[in-house]
Structure 1
Amino acid sequence: MEESPRSSQGEEPVVGAFAVPEPRGDDGIEIGLAGLLEVAPDAMVVIDGDGRIVAFNAKLTKLFGYDSNALRGQAIEALIPERLHAGHVLLRQQYMAAPVARPMGREQELPARRCDGSEFPVEISLAPLPGLAGTPTPGGNVIAAVRDASERVRTGRRISRFLDAAPDAMIVTDRDGLIQLANAQTLALFGYSADELRGQPVEILVPPESRADHPRRRASFTDSPTTRPMGSGLELEGIRKDGSRVPVEISLASVEDEGDLLVICTVRDISERRLADADRAHLVALVSSARQGLLTLDLTGEITSWNAGAQEIFGFSAADMVGRSWTVLDSPEQSEDSSGTVARILAGEQLHPLDTARRDRHGQDVEVSISLALIQDRHGRPAGVSVVIEDIAERKRDERELIAAKAAAEATNQELEAFSYAVAHDLRAPLRGIDGFAQALVEDYGDVLDDVGQEYLGQVRTSSQYMASLIDSLLLLSKLSRQELCPVAVDLSALAAQSIQRLRAADPQRQVQVEIQHGLLALADSGLMSVVLDNLLGNAWKYAAGGQDARIEFKATEERGVPCYVVRDNGVGFDMAYAGKLFGVFQRLHPISAFEGLGIGLATTQRIISRHGGRIWAQGEVGKGASFYFSLPMKESHHV
């Protein structure tokens, strides 16, 4: 091969569009290589063991925008973005230590840098140049072919955008099952990044127990690639990056790309479908086992399904009823023709459940409640009617018994009320007579009677008056038990203050410290709650400590997580062993000689609180006071 002559300035000879150094033994470059570089279809560059550019062709200078003199002697990193220099130097040194040929298409796509600073993607292939001995030498010269990959990248991006627009996960693999491309849905489904999947065997997405056999299955497809559409494809489990599993359905297709076979795998997440199938199976089981009658009708009112519950109610089996008009169940006692009801539903009318009668297999009327609903197809058009039938014979029987019991109770209450007033009237008259005559004896014959006689007459009057008070209290208790509740927003704090004001007026000599929490509101009957607070605060006033130490408080609190109210005093208290007797009629824990009272107030209070849906209870200790708690569970009860 003839060498080019040197220039007069002593520079190395120029061949074509690039300079070629003279041969230098084993490390030199033959002049004939210059011509080969020039006719190469790609941009070509030769670098020495230090990574310096020693030769290149015109296509390289054109591709990177340099003139023929600017690149010679430059480090190859001049053609690479600055941010990648450090990493590239390390990779270059590793390659130089063990140079082997790396053909185009096997190298990783890299970003390159033009003279003007713009970047573009390239593919490269590498090969060591043999020395004089004809074999590659570590640290020797290396030749690289550089191909502009911009168009391929643009095409790849268009394909990626197309794949990303697909509703399912899509994976492209080569003949060996190595992943070349995965769309965004694949990354989202399996939890990998694109770089983590590219170049990996597709078995990375297959559960461990199936991986050993998967290459055989894959090979059977590549040996005879036929499209397997979704629905007739395989239904498998995939495994995500985090190890969790997902049920999938796949379809396969193949395409030839420059002589290489590519496999396109479409992966559909069928988790929701599996759940829907499970729900559907569960629903079918529920329908089959439901005690209610469940049936469906077509647009003509013909029965299309009939469950076991309907068979239990009417005695007809599904074989008896499917295909027949549901009017066969009509009874002369029903209020509306069945076909007319179906027509109203199909017209879009919404009907309330209908209590009616239907005829069973034996011709007997069955009391049932029927609910009908429109069935629509996926386009929103009427497709039929669903019918739920419930046997209400037992409920109707209970209702009739309840009505009869209520009527009997009302009659009894009326009789008791009449009896109470009659008894009260009949008892009051002689009591008034006894008290009146005793008073007359004292007034008219007091000077005749000695002290003992006058004492006896005083006890007669006291007892008759006490008996009259008992009668009045019993009548009040009876009245409160029947009085209709009128719930309104009640200011319990104000009612308590009024009650204390009445107590102070009746006993002005008594010194009692009273604390009432402000803003206690409740939804209750105002008049009845006034009675409650009169009784509870009256008890506290009566039993509170004597002298200047008497204290009473009324406030909101909480017991075992239940909001409630409390009336508390520091008086004589009581033994908790007898707490159960507190709310009984005429039950007293203290002798009447020590504390006056009738023993009906707390019973009345309990009756009122119970009618409000609440409860009342007490805590106390002998000599350390008592606390009476009550709850009013109506929703509006609160304090501000």
Structure 2
Amino acid sequence: MDHPNNGPQDQDFDRAGILIVDENPESRTALVEILAPCNYRLEEVKSAQETLTRLHSDEFAVLLIDVVMPQMSGLELASIIKKQEPAGIIPIIFLITENIDVKQIYKSYRSGATDYLVKPLIPEVVRAKVAVFVELFVQKREQKRLRESITGLNNELKEAKEKIRRLRRTYKMVLDSAGEGIYGVDSQGILTFINQSGAQILGYTTDELIGKPSHTIWHHHRLDGQLYSQKECPNFASYKSGKRHSGEDVFWKKDGTKIPVLLSSNPLIVENEIVGAVATFTDITEHKKVEEELRLSEARFRTLFEQATLSIQILDPEGRSIEVNRSYEMLWGLTLEMLKDYNILEDKQLIAKGIMPYIRKGFAGEASEIPIVLYDPSEINLPGKPRWVKGYIFPVKNKKGEIIQIVLMHVDVTELTLKENALRESRQQLQAIMDNSPTAIYMKDLQGRYMLVNRKTEKIFGIDKQEVIGKKDEDVFPSETAEIVRTNDKNVLESGVPIELEEIIPLKDGFHTYISTKYPLMDASGKPYAICGISTDITERKKAEGSLRRYSEELSAANKELEAFSYSVSHDLKNPLNTISGFVQILSEDYWESIDGNGRDYLKRIAQGTDKMRSIINNLLNFSRIEKQKIRREEIDLSEMTRRIISDLHYSQPKKRVHVIIQQGIKANADSQMLNIVLTNLLNNAWKYTSKKENPQIEVGTMKEGDKTVYFVSDNGAGFDMKLADRLFVPFQRLHAEKEYTGTGIGLAIVERVIKKHGGRVWAESEVGKGATFYFTLG
């Protein structure tokens, strides 16, 4: 239904249509009344089908659609409209009720709604929202009219542009056909054109470059990476001051890499005014690579030539020296200057020694190996020492195959030759040693054939060595012996390691026992190719070992009996000693008051005697146990152990004052319990023998003897006569009178046994009245 409005005629709203879609006539009428004052073209439809029909026949500024319609909801209708052209772009305002679900509102936007109005409608709100979309509609329509006007103008320009385009295409084809880069800039350095080759060289498209300042795009840095001022740019000089430029430069590509170019820049002058510049550039990367490769090749050759360990002499086709390297100068002691009058083709020494034919082969164009020769420069009146050398000569030809140089290389084999001579002498000496060796030395191949034997082996076999060579064990020994020897050889070859074993060989004077060391000889690949053997006759030694074994068994049995006896005696003595000590204690405690002075003195002497006897017995037991005791080595702090022992001595004699010096951090790897016995005995002795000194002093420390650590306990006590030193470590041997210094006489014997059990040694140095120092090492 059409509702023409009778309000004021505003050109901006001419034919701006509003389509109202609602099945309820009252709702449509209410909307018409609200919008009537706005002078819009209002149309009403009551169904979805009518809506779609009208949209195909007319255009509207906005659609007002009721969401709730019985046949098809407004949401469904909006979804259909949005999929059609051109109706799909028309704004849609949904009419909804106050109690509509929020989710329904979101759904309306997804269906294509632009906005919505809530019933009951507020006229001012309706007019305001509709006015916005009408204004947009009018603006779009006006833009359409402007576009149509512009289209007319464009048609007029089309022909002119086409002519210009054809000219530009021709011009571009000419530029793009050029293999080098061509570009132009205006008087401000802005790029006005660049051909396809230039853009490709720089890694850009032409569109990326036109209108851009050329200097800041590809000419911003120098080759060394420093900033390139535009005022220093040769291209700048062309379009600013009219200077021409030609030379190598560097341009920077889009990917940030630099390329060397050959640049030519010329000013562009129109009516005597510089309006810009035209430049051409060529990528000379490959040219530079060739130059660099040539330079590197020359540098490599020069380095190899100068640093080569081979002596190299380069000659011209006439035999004159062109160049010599450092190794040549070092080998012969000759410089190129010294060789200015030398011609190798006239060298009489080379002629005399038969080398000249090899030299002439090289000059004739054939590579040749020159045999070893002793060459003496002094024979041709040149300085230098004679050397054994091996040579190689070959020609250098140009592309035409013409010989331009001859290269002669010398390998100094003087040392090798001398070594070979020495080796020859050494082999002769070795053979002499082998032949005079008291042991049998021989070598067999993998099949068991003798390859080499010495004179001793000859004597064993009873035949000349030339007759032995090539024979097998079964050819010279009885079959049983040969089988045993061959089995031993196989074991060595299979294991791949040396094996030492005893072999019993029957000889004319009876069976002999040999200790044989056999080992495989390996080739470069690690496979055995022969077996070598060294056999020593130990028949007499075996007899001696048998005797020694019997003596050892007898000695071991005697030691066991002695040990059992010592233990038995010690055990049997302890019981009566304990009985005596017990009675002495009873007498001292229960009858002390009834015993006179002499009796008390006797009791004290009895107690002291039993204590000393008990100490002797305990020391004897310790002495015998040490031999059987296993060593349990561990890291020990001897400094701390010494402090504990000294502390116990101070506790036992609190009135005695001794100055003790203990080196810090003394470490040892030994049995802690055994080493405690050693230090206790040595420190007890030092403590005892300084008792009569006014200022007693004891020192414990270490010192180095080669790579071994030597431990020492030193005192300034009584000392002893070094003539008696051999009695120091003998059990029950005392160097001082009992009444002067008490003791059991077995302590140092225990010390020696502990130290020897550790694989070390113990000794002492002393002077009577000036003290003694006991030293010991630990294996």
State whether TM-score is above 0.5.
Answer: yes
The structure, 1 or 2, with the larger RCO (C-alpha pairs under 8 Å, 6+ apart) is: 1
Which residue of 2 is the match for residue 186 of structure 1?
328
1:2-401 matches, within 5 Å, as 169=311, 171=313, 179-182=321-324, 185-193=327-335, 195-199=336-340, 201=342, 214=349, 217=352, 234-236=373-375, 246-249=387-390, 267-270=410-413, 271-290=415-434, 291=437, 292-328=439-475, 337-339=484-486, 349-350=496-497, 352-360=499-507, 364-376=511-523, 383-401=529-547
Which residue of 2 is the match for residue 605 of structure 1?
751
Counting aligned pairs with the same residue, the percent is: 31
- The answer on whether the counterparts of 1:313 and 1:391 sit within 8 Å (CA) in structure 2 is no
Q: Relative to structure 2, which stretch is displaced further, 423-432 or 607-616?
A: 423-432
The C-alpha deviation readout for 1:302-345, integer Å capped at 9, x for no partner, is: 22222224224444431231111234456666696555555666
Which amino acid is the alignment partner of residue 272 of structure 1?
L
CA gap of 1:199–1:314, structure 2 versus 1, over 3 A, is: same
Which amino acid is the alignment partner of residue 443 of structure 2?
T
Counterpart of 2:730 in 1: which secondary structure? coil
CA gap of 1:605–1:289, structure 2 versus 1, over 3 A, is: same
Which amino acid is the alignment partner of residue 371 of structure 1?
K
Which residue of 2 is the match for residue 586 of structure 1?
732
Q: CA deviation at 1:415?
A: 1.1
The C-alpha deviation readout for 1:590-616, integer Å capped at 9, x for no partner, is: 433333222222232223223323333
Rounded Cα–Cα distance in structure 1 between residues aligned with 2:572 and 2:494 = 69
Which residue of 1 is the match for residue 561 of structure 2?
415
CA gap of 1:422–1:159, structure 2 versus 1, over 3 A, is: closer
Rounded Cα–Cα distance in structure 2 between residues aligned with 1:315 and 1:598 = 67
Q: Relative to structure 2, which stretch is displaced further, 497-506 or 540-549?
A: 540-549
Counterpart of 1:626 in 2: which secondary structure? strand
The C-alpha deviation readout for 1:217-266, integer Å capped at 9, x for no partner, is: 489959x9789986866335678x9966543356899999xx99999866
CA gap of 1:493–1:328, structure 2 versus 1, over 3 A, is: farther
Structure 1 residue 557 corresponds to structure 2 residue 700: no
Which amino acid is the alignment partner of residue 419 of structure 2?
L
CA gap of 1:244–1:233, structure 2 versus 1, over 3 A, is: closer
The C-alpha deviation readout for 1:361-395, integer Å capped at 9, x for no partner, is: 7784543414131442x676654443444434355
Which residue of 1 is the match for residue 648 of structure 2?
502
Q: CA deviation at 1:192?
A: 4.6
Which amino acid is the alignment partner of residue 616 of structure 1?
V
Rounded Cα–Cα distance in structure 1 between residues aligned with 2:582 and 2:300 = 115
The C-alpha deviation readout for 1:94-147, integer Å capped at 9, x for no partner, is: xxxxxxxxxxxxxxxxxxxxxx9xxxxxxxxxxxxxxxxxxxxxxxxxxxxxxx
Rounded Cα–Cα distance in structure 2 between residues aligned with 1:361 and 1:631 = 52
Q: CA deviation at 1:534?
A: 0.3
Which residue of 2 is the match for residue 569 of structure 1?
715
- The answer on whether the counterparts of 1:511 and 1:547 sit within 8 Å (CA) in structure 2 is no
Rounded Cα–Cα distance in structure 1 between residues aligned with 2:683 and 2:465 = 70
- The answer on whether the counterparts of 1:315 and 1:361 sit within 8 Å (CA) in structure 2 is no
Q: Relative to structure 2, which stretch is displaced further, 163-172 or 572-581?
A: 163-172
Structure 1 residue 530 corresponds to structure 2 residue 676: yes
The C-alpha deviation readout for 1:167-212, integer Å capped at 9, x for no partner, is: 854546799986455456533433555x345425489xxxxxxx9x
Which amino acid is the alignment partner of residue 715 of structure 2?
D
- The answer on whether the counterparts of 1:524 and 1:612 sit within 8 Å (CA) in structure 2 is yes
- The answer on whether the counterparts of 2:332 and 2:384 sit within 8 Å (CA) in structure 1 is no
Unaligned ranges ≥5, structure 2: 1-246, 248-297
Name the larger-Rg structure: 2
Rounded Cα–Cα distance in structure 2 between residues aligned with 1:340 and 1:560 = 48
Q: CA deviation at 1:530?
A: 0.5
Rounded Cα–Cα distance in structure 1 between residues aligned with 2:677 and 2:480 = 53
Which amino acid is the alignment partner of residue 286 of structure 1?
L
Unaligned ranges ≥5, structure 1: 1-115, 117-155, 204-210, 635-640
Q: CA deviation at 1:428?
A: 4.2
Structure 1 residue 629 corresponds to structure 2 residue 775: yes
Counterpart of 2:685 in 1: which secondary structure? helix
Structure 1 residue 540 corresponds to structure 2 residue 686: yes
- The answer on whether the counterparts of 1:296 and 1:384 sit within 8 Å (CA) in structure 2 is yes
- The answer on whether the counterparts of 2:496 and 2:528 sit within 8 Å (CA) in structure 1 is no
Rounded Cα–Cα distance in structure 2 between residues aligned with 1:381 and 1:580 = 59
Q: Relative to structure 2, which stretch is displaced further, 527-536 or 366-375?
A: 366-375
Rounded Cα–Cα distance in structure 1 between residues aligned with 2:654 and 2:304 = 95
Q: Report the number of matched residues.
A: 472
Rounded Cα–Cα distance in structure 2 between residues aligned with 1:345 and 1:471 = 56
Rounded Cα–Cα distance in structure 1 between residues aligned with 2:331 and 2:754 = 64
Rounded Cα–Cα distance in structure 1 between residues aligned with 2:596 and 2:762 = 50
